[in-house]
Amino acid sequence: MQELHSKILGSGHPLLILHGFLGMSDNWKTLGSQYADNGFEVHLIDQRNHGKSFHSDEFNYQILANDLHGYINANHLVAPDILGHSMGGKTAMQFACSYPNQVNKLIVADIAPKFYPPHHQYIVDALTALEITSINSRKQADEALSKHLSDFGIRQFLLKNLHWVEKGKLGFRFNLDILKDRMEEIGENLLSSDSFEGHTLFVRGDRSEYISDQDINTIKSHFPSAVLKTVENAGHWLHAENPKQFFEITLDFLIS
């Protein structure tokens, strides 16, 4: 079994952090350092088909949860805390339900255990239209992407994945070919029988539509001990839009 790539910060009780769709572990470096400064051994993990982890044709949440199980065993971790955002939150939920004895505390950032219709197609289309083989710099890539994506923040998020595959040849770290074919999988819900009774925190942005008040009953049906907190002045990327409050809420949950 191939092992996931990670960056490990600090020492103490293990805290595993899982990025979202088209993201990577580096997105969490600043917050990861803050958790590490507060007594955690932070594992910033690249999920398969993302970051520096391996590429594979197989991709669904049970497989991603199994990847995490393999990582925990390979690194001899005992009952880590797990934090996941968006797609990473779905992986974290699935892992907690599949391996409940291997989770101490679970934090799910701005995603519910329900089905989400594919809604990232415009981003995938913009990336697909990019003629990456003819691009020689990050600036040139941004200019090309801007023809399809007007949001500067989203473009910068995606361009963090740009790297030199070899001298003179740029590429993205994520496996776009597989991910664009698995858009339905990205939005999948948990099975009705999936549940985790351990300590669980759901965090949402007050400007995000990913977790509504109507989703609370669904959350409680899978995670009966769950509490829901809201980060102010934040949308779906709540950890980047209001990192101070996000950190305060999550750290308080982790150390309580």
From the CB of residue 33, how many other CB atoms can be counted at a distance below 10 Å? 14
Structural tokens at position 178: 């597989």
Residue 200 phi, psi (nearest 5) = -140, 135
59-to-67, 165, 175, 228 alpha-carbon distances in Å: 11, 23, 11, 29
Catalytic positions, please? 86, 177, 236
Whole-angstrom CA distances from 223 to 10, 31, 98, 129, 181 are: 30, 25, 13, 40, 30
Contact 206, 242 (CB under 8 A): no
Residue whose pair of structure tokens reads 């981003």 in the numeric block: 123
